[in-house]
């Protein structure tokens, strides 16, 4: 097992760790403004444009032709699963030093990386219905934390993120069915009584951190010309004992693979709900 990485880096002056920790404890999420430099944002965007132009990568990125897509932009520009397993830029930024420092503060633990994804979300794309990430990752004994980095400015018009405040302590709920006209995934978790989803408006380079039990989702991209690209990663505390097998191996802060025990398929909602978890899960 790799030694703990203790080196602290300077964060951009726009990042207020104390404010982030207070928001994360109170609401279940926090935003690090300008955590990724303009150069890093451009590098990530260019890497994924290259992936998009290189054709299918079986098991990770499987677009279809415009004719086969029949007008669905998410079929010509589907999300990219686990790009860190084949793309050096994604692997580098999965263990971005600023992200790891924020996570150590928010988790109060050392960190392991579990997943990377990239969403293109073109104009006209459907959103993703409200859900909880740890339903899919099945992290034990604690939960996962997402780091959602905007590669384009993101707001309600182009399908930005929504979060239900103060739901980090909610149990993992067995989801119902989403509206297929608005969501490209099938699962839906409603907000608890008295709570509602609020938008998170972000600039390119901002990173949103949220607890794996926090209810969140995104709306359709209703803009005419604006993509809403995002680089999304999930992390777990170093003390994690089990995780869904789809997220193994984990990645250490020094970039090495690490295996832990796999959680039993199905989680709290049984085998039927567990089907297709790798593809259903993730974040918007």
Q: How far apart are CA 139 and CA 129, in angstroms?
A: 21
The pLDDT, as a whole number, for residue 270 is 61
The pLDDT, as a whole number, for residue 269 is 76
The pLDDT, as a whole number, for residue 174 is 94
Collapsing DSSP states into helix, strand and coil, what is residue 69? helix
Q: What is the pLDDT of residues 259-278, one digit of tens each?
A: 999 997 666 676 544 444 44
| Domain range annotation of the chain | 17-21+29-125+138-160+199-213+220-280
The pLDDT, as a whole number, for residue 16 is 96
Q: How far apart are CA 45 and CA 56, in angstroms?
A: 18
231-265 core/surface letters (b: 16 or more CB in 10 A; e: else): bbbbbbbbebebbbebbbebbbbeeeeeebeebee
Q: How far apart are CA 49 and CA 43, in angstroms?
A: 10
Return the bridge partners of 164, or none. 197
* Residue numbers in the chain where pLDDT is lower than 70: 1-7, 265-268, 270-284
The pLDDT, as a whole number, for residue 2 is 41
87-117 core/surface letters (b: 16 or more CB in 10 A; e: else): bebbbebbbbebbbbbbbbbbeebbbbbbbb
Query: Which pTM does this prediction carry?
Result: 0.93
Q: May I ask the CATH architecture of the domain 17-21+29-125+138-160+199-213+220-280? A: Sandwich (2.60)
The pLDDT, as a whole number, for residue 143 is 97
């Amino acid at each position: 097992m790799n030694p703990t990485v203790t080196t602290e880096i300077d964060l951009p002056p726009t990042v207020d760790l104390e404010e982030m920790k207070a928001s994360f404890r109170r609401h279940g999420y926090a935003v690090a403004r300008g955590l990724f430099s303009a150069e890093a944002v451009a590098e990530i965007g260019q890497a994924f444009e290259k992936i998009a132009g290189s054709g299918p990568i079986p098991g990770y990125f499987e677009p279809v032709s415009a004719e086969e897509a029949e007008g669905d932009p998410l079929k010509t520009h589907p999300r990219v699963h686990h790009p860190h397993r084949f793309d050096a830029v994604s692997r580098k930024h999965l263990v971005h030093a600023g992200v790891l420092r924020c996570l150590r503060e928010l988790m109060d633990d050392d960190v392991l990386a579990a997943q990377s994804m990239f969403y293109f979300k073109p104009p006209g794309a459907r959103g993703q219905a409200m859900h909880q990430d740890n339903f899919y990752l099945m992290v034990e004994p604690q939960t996962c934390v997402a780091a959602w980095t905007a590669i384009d400015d993101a707001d309600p018009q182009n399908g930005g993120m929504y979060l239900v405040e103060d739901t980090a302590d909610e149990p993992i709920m067995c989801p119902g069915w989403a509206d297929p006209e608005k969501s490209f995934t099938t699962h839906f978790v409603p907000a608890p009584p008295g709570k509602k989803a609020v938008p998170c408006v972000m600039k390119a380079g901002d990173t949103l951190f949220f607890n794996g039990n926090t209810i969140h989702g995104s709306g359709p991209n209703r803009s005419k010309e604006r993509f809403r690209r995002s680089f999304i990663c999930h992390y777990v505390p170093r003390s994690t004992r089990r995780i869904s097998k789809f997220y193994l191996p984990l990645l250490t802060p020094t970039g090495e693979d690490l295996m832990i025990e796999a959680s039993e398929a199905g989680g709290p909602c049984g085998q039927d709900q567990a089907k297709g978890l790798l593809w259903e899960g993730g974040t918007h």
